[in-house]
A and B are shown apart, each in its own frame.
Chain A
Amino acid sequence: MAEATPVTEKTSAPAAGQRSVRSLLASLEIDTRLLGMIAATVVVWVVFNFASDGLFLSPRNLWNLSVQSAAVGIMTTGMVMIIVSRNIDLSIGSILAITALVMALLQTEWLPNALGLGLNSPFIWIIALVIGIALGALIGGLNGFLVAYAGIPSFVVTLGAMLIWRGASFGLVSGRTIGPLDLTFQLIGGGPKGSLGDSLSWLVAAIAIALIAYGLIASRRRRRRYGFPVRPVWADVTLGVVASLIVAGAVWVANSYPWPPGLAKEYAQAHGIPEPPGGLVIPTGIAIPVLIAIGLAVAMTFLANRRRFGRYVFAIGGNPEAAELAGINTKRTIMKTFVLMGMLAAAAAAVTSARLNAATNGLGTGIELQVIAAAVIGGTSFAGGIGTIAGGVLGAVVIQSLQSGMVLISVPTALQDIVIGIVLVAAVGFDTFVNRRKPGVR
């Protein structure tokens, strides 16, 4: 039953004629926290670009940055859900190591020898990948079972798991480095051959823009149908245009990064393409690990916002008793968050080892701290119930930007850690300060 006229809810919107930034943002209905994250990223980028004489915002560096943030970004999507439901997972680095090693051994020894397939046979990469992710799910499931059903605090369970699986990693290979990996598997790590190239990248951009447009139109139509207030047309159009520009811009940057000249020359010769003066320029495009990371981030966001599982995770984080009384199977939900986390760690393992073209038993040491930091910088609260996937991924990008940027401008090693520590506190502190001053009902 639709109401007569769409009543505007913006009770804090000032009288007509008085435009404030706040009412502008309210019209756009953007989460101000996310906006703050984006602003922080932009500030960091601009500062580093200035300090590095324009190197930071070069296509090469931005492309590198996207690949370097991928593994942490992938795992942050899962960590957000874990922290939102009032848990923690300290074992992801060790899960990364053991799954990477198993996938590497499958590619270099077990599958070629056992199945007599030989190295680089066509299906090895996918078999290894599937087994790796299944292993991640199993380990995550074990963690989840102990937390949800045995009632052991997640800090303790995952701390133990961190030690157990790190030890198992070492025991599995006795410190050996396993490599090189299957040629197809390596593509998961990026590099010129592990990227989409310009046509496919533009196709991805077109699909993304189409989805954005569809999303805006469908949401508007749905709200109209129920008689809810809708954003003014100009707001929807602005949002759509800005989002599309960001997508197009990102793809343009990725396509502006050319293959290394030596590789391009090889390609030209191999395909009989005459080389223009200055060498053949082959645009690299979106790196496959970046595509995987973005895809997983979108999927996890969908899971968090639009599926019951995600709703239950947030409910448990907000008020576990209320969730129980509402009849939610909280134990099963919690267990699922850990299974997901294990699978995401395995995905990150694939990306990291493919990129390195090897698996070592020290892989991923200490990465849990980076992932947790990314989630927290991105707005996830340890009190539970609050956090966004997009914020977490942005947090991962900010941290990697800081680390990479400082190497770029040769900041002395001692100063690097100090800077990261200060920025971490400042980012979260600023966010806390702003949100404390938020008005009551909008």
Chain B
Amino acid sequence: MFVRKSVALVAIAAVLVAACSNNAGSSSGPGSSSGTGTANCKVGVAWATSQEERYKLRDEPAVKGAVEAGGGTYLSGGDAQNKADIQATQIATLLASNINVLVINAVDPVAVLPSMQAAIDAGIPVIAYDRELENAKALFLTHDNVLVGHMIADAVTKVQPTGNYVIIKGDKTQTNPIFLRNGMEEVLKPLTDSGAIKIVAEEFTPDWKAEAAQTEMENILTAHPDVNAVLSENDNMATGVTAALGGNADGKVKIGGQDGDTFALNRVALGTQVVSVWKNSIELGQAAGKAALELCKNPDITKVTGAKASKTAGGLDSYSLLLNPVPITKDNLQVVLDANWITKDVLCKGVTAGSVAGC
């Protein structure tokens, strides 16, 4: 009986040791990725969400394209549906898939840290893609969300320096709405202090939903019929705001958004929306793909082409490849056309020819 038991235990132990050493001996061990080369470079990407136009149409194809063009393999972790716990599971799965580089599009900058640490511990270099996370060891490839908020407010206050403002914010369970709001505050504070601008209402919107923003805006208008400008933290909600304003065809209310959503860009061309702060996610995705391939050859993030010393939002010294968001107004529509972000017939649908540069 005793003999049988101990034989079983030894057998189980042997299997476990073999399994563990298999993992350790693979390319995810410390220093093992040096000299792997771009061939066999496996890049795992943990996306925060697929539910927005840009991720499926632009970011993902750009990253995938750049990685594969360089001979590497692209692996997606799936759609974390903007939930931190789902993302943690997805990153764990990616790490178990023997990736060489991890790209994280973080749902939550703090909740993602343990997952990130697990990658660093396993010797896998990490790229933080487009969203903040508070760890100096990652290479930051972002657009600055605080800057985006700043740009939205800047573009709108330039055309509407006084009056009643409404701020439509994103989902209250996420952190991006706060960063965006902080950016807006940089521009708004002097104006609210001087009394030129009054913020009559600001609301969070469940799931950043367009129809929820519409209902909110209608109710805000009932309480405050005279609204001069609306800062919306993204274009999806701006669609709802525009509908609540009856289409805002005369452009009387100045609306700002972000994302470069095709419907919103059309509104900018038509004059019903003032600005859509655009991040060229094609460019961003390509840069991420290239940086990932470089990290496969050499995991030192300071050596990546174009990486510069910078500070994280929390003040840590780190390195980043910063790309600047571009506020798209009716004056520079050509930018999105040139970047093949949107086709002319979609951009200029319903626009009188020649009324804006680009149409």
Chain A positions near chain B (C-beta within 8 angstroms): 52, 55, 58, 60-61, 64, 68, 170, 174-180, 189, 191-192, 260, 262-263, 352, 355-358, 360-366, 403-404, 407-410, 413
Contacts and interface: CB of A to CB of B under 8 A. Distances in A.
B252 A262 contact: yes
B236 A192 contact: no
A260 B215 CA distance: 17
B209 A175 contact: no
B53 A175 contact: yes
Tell me if A's interface is mostly helix, strand, loop or mixed: loop
13 contacts: A64-B219, A68-B218, A175-B51, A175-B54, A175-B57, A176-B262, A177-B210, A178-B263, A179-B239, A191-B246, A357-B247, A366-B207, A403-B215
A363 B262 CA distance: 17
B68 to A, nearest CB: 19
A55 B55 CA distance: 42
Contacts of B204: 413
Interface residues of B, number: 41
A352 B211 contact: yes
B124 to A, nearest CB: 29
Question: Which of A178, A180, A355, A403 has most B Cβ within 10 Å?
Answer: A180
Contacts of A404: 215, 219
Contact of B222 (A170, A191, A260, A408): A408
B282 to A, nearest CB: 14
A61 B218 CA distance: 9
Contacts of B195: none
Name, among B53, B207, B208, B261, the residue most crowded by chain A CB atoms within 10 Å (CB to CB): B53
Contacts of A361: 51
Contacts of B203: 407, 413
Contact of B263 (A60, A68, A260, A358): A358
B56 interface: yes
Contact of B57 (A60, A174, A358, A364): A174
A355 B219 contact: no
Residue in A191, A409, A410 whose Cβ sees the most chain B Cβ within 10 Å: A410
A174 B218 CA distance: 29
Contacts of B242: 357
A408 B222 CA distance: 7
Contacts of B54: 175
Contacts of A263: 246
Interface in B173-207: 201, 203-204, 206-207
Interface in B47-100: 50-57
B209 A177 contact: no
B245 to A, nearest CB: 9
Contacts of B201: 407, 410
B145 interface: no
Contacts of A177: 53, 210, 235-236, 239, 261-264
Contacts of B236: 177, 360, 362
B211 A363 contact: yes
A267 to B, nearest CB: 13
Contacts of A191: 246
Nearest to A178: B263
A174 B53 contact: yes
Contact of B220 (A175, A189, A407): A407
Contact of A64 (B52, B56, B208, B218): B218
